[in-house]
Amino acid sequence: MISVEGVTKRYGTVTAVDGLSFTVDRGEVVGFLGPNGAGKTTTMRMITGTLQPDEGSVLFDGVPIMDGLTEAKQRVGYLPESNPLYDEMLVAEYLEHVADLRGLSAADRRTGITNAVDETDLGAVFYRPISECSKGYRQRIGLAGAILHHPEVLILDEPTEGLDPNQRVEIRRLIGSLGRERTVLLSTHVMQEVEATCSRLVILSRGKLAAEGSVQELLANRTGGIRYIVEAQGTGVTEALAGLAGVSGYETFAVEGRVRVQLDAATDEDLRPAIFEMAKDSGWTLWELHRERASLEQVFRNLTSELPGESEKEPAAASEGAPNGMSEGEPGGATDDEADAASLEVSS
Ligand SMILES: Nc1ncnc2c1ncn2[C@@H]1O[C@H](COP(=O)(O)OP(=O)(O)OP(=O)(O)O)[C@@H](O)[C@H]1O
Ligand SMILES: [Mg+2]
């Protein structure tokens, strides 16, 4: 349904998106992942038609969106990053305002608002000022605005960013239900986010496609790696383990006279016999030896971690413990946000 074909976007000397291609099929809920600055927002703005690619194109059902921008925009609902809302408006006024921007007829506006309020469960705050609404409700308001015109496609840019854990669960559930009858592309840099919600993941690193597939496929991926936990007492434990064939990385911790070493393996071959032999030959006391499959979060880190010296930005701490409300470091001003909210203008 959505094809992103060889899309590149530069901001001056920064290549934000670099020859990116992927597809989203009808009815899918696809997670769009990448560390801060990977190019998620830039890509999403090109899919919604608010930003024009320098190279390549975005197609809906085989038709380049730039060939029929008005029609393409009618098919897409967009929740921009940081969800810009007008605090001074009542929820009802805001939804009327979005309906105005969309140019909905009186009848479409009535059914659009009624359905959106119903789907996002906003009845309780409908006549409240937006400034009095919690962050969770604000996201619901943004989602209601995005679905007013009955779009088949939803583009949601970090919809759970800045929410507390309970609100996150609620919004994820809401996205799941909105996604039952729509095609959804949802961005996040929190890996756990997507396990419950998404049927497939597209992972971006520095503007390029790093991986694509279902959670199971990515976990089974060779590059995901296997991890060993070894706790031992003896001399030269860390150095010897780190030098073992098949080990691609390690972390070590001192534990009461012993060392606990976490080894990342670049091979599927089971290294436990070799580790056991090493312990025996070196006269170590072995307290623990344990093999585990990499978590989705490790897969994400392996796929997107920056090489030393190449990073212009800190790679994301892709952990659930990441503080909420982190700054996004995005220079886009109010003009951008307004264009996003209305999704009616094209900038280049
Ligand atoms: N309006 C802009 N002008 C200049 N550079 C920009 C602009 N918007 C984004 N960039 C740069 O383009 C790159 C990709 O940014 P983008 O916002 O698309 O990433 P992102 O994956 O959405 O990141 P985040 O997780 O922080 O939201 C970054 O290096 C960013 O600094
Ligand atoms: Mg972004």
CA of 133 to the centre of ligand 2 (A): 23
Mean pLDDT of the chain: 85
Q: What is the predicted pLDDT for the residue at 336? A: 42
Q: What is the predicted pLDDT for the residue at 196? A: 78
**Nearest atom of ligand 1 to the alpha carbon of 43:** 18
Q: Does 161 contact ligand 1 (Cβ within 6 A)?
A: no
Mean pLDDT across the stretch 184-190?
Answer: 90
pLDDT at 201 over 80: yes
**Nearest atom of ligand 1 to the alpha carbon of 42:** 18
Nearest CA to ligand 1 atom 17: 41
The answer as to whether 337 is a domain residue is no
If one compares 200 and 297, the residue with the highest pLDDT of the two is 200
Mean pLDDT across the stretch 327-334?
Answer: 33
68 and 146 both lie in a single domain: yes
If one compares 332 and 213, the residue with the highest pLDDT of the two is 213
Q: Can you read off the two tokens belonging to residue 69?
A: 């921008």
176 and 277 both lie in a single domain: no
Nearest CA to ligand 1 atom 3: 11
**Nearest atom of ligand 1 to the alpha carbon of 35:** 25
Please report which confidence band the pLDDT of residue 222 belongs to, taking 50, 70 and 90 as the band edges.
low
Please report which confidence band the pLDDT of residue 248 belongs to, taking 50, 70 and 90 as the band edges.
confident
Structural domains counted in the chain: 2
SS3 call for 61: coil
150 and 211 both lie in a single domain: yes
pLDDT at 190 over 90: no
Mean pLDDT across the stretch 30-59?
Answer: 95
143 and 187 both lie in a single domain: yes
How is the beta sheet containing 2-11 ordered, strand by strand? 14-24, 2-11, 55-60, 63-64
CA of 330 to the centre of ligand 1 (A): 6
Q: What is the predicted pLDDT for the residue at 225? A: 66
- pLDDT tens-digit profile of 121-173? 999 999 999 999 999 999 999 999 999 999 999 999 999 998 998 999 999 99
The answer as to whether 332 is a domain residue is no
Mutation to probe ligand 1, out of 11, 54, 193, 313 (largest number of atoms < 8 A from CB) = 11
- Other Cβ atoms less than 10 A from the Cβ of 199: the count is 15
218: left (phi over 0), alpha (psi -120 to 50) or beta: alpha
290 strand-pairing partners: 229
The answer as to whether 344 is a domain residue is no
147 and 19 both lie in a single domain: yes
Smallest Cα–Cα separation from 182: which of 202, 199, 194?
199
Percent of the chain beyond pLDDT 90? 69
185 and 43 both lie in a single domain: yes
165 and 278 both lie in a single domain: no
- pLDDT tens-digit profile of 260-304? 999 988 787 899 999 999 999 999 999 999 998 777 777 787 788
- Other Cβ atoms less than 10 A from the Cβ of 279: the count is 21
Q: Which domain holds residue 166?
A: 2-220+315-322
How many Å from the N-terminal Cα to the C-terminal Cα in the chain?
Answer: 24
Mean pLDDT across the stretch 176-193?
Answer: 89
95 and 202 both lie in a single domain: yes
206 and 233 both lie in a single domain: no
pLDDT at 340 over 80: no
Distance CA 166, CA 142 (A): 18
Distance CA 187, CA 160 (A): 9
126 and 239 both lie in a single domain: no
196 and 243 both lie in a single domain: no
DSSP 106-144: HHHHHHHHHHHHHHHT-GGGTTSBGGGS-HHHHHHHHHH
Q: What is the predicted pLDDT for the residue at 99? A: 96
Please report which confidence band the pLDDT of residue 192 belongs to, taking 50, 70 and 90 as the band edges.
confident
Q: What is the predicted pLDDT for the residue at 200? A: 93
Q: What is the predicted pLDDT for the residue at 295? A: 75
Please report which confidence band the pLDDT of residue 309 belongs to, taking 50, 70 and 90 as the band edges.
very low
The answer as to whether 152 is a domain residue is yes
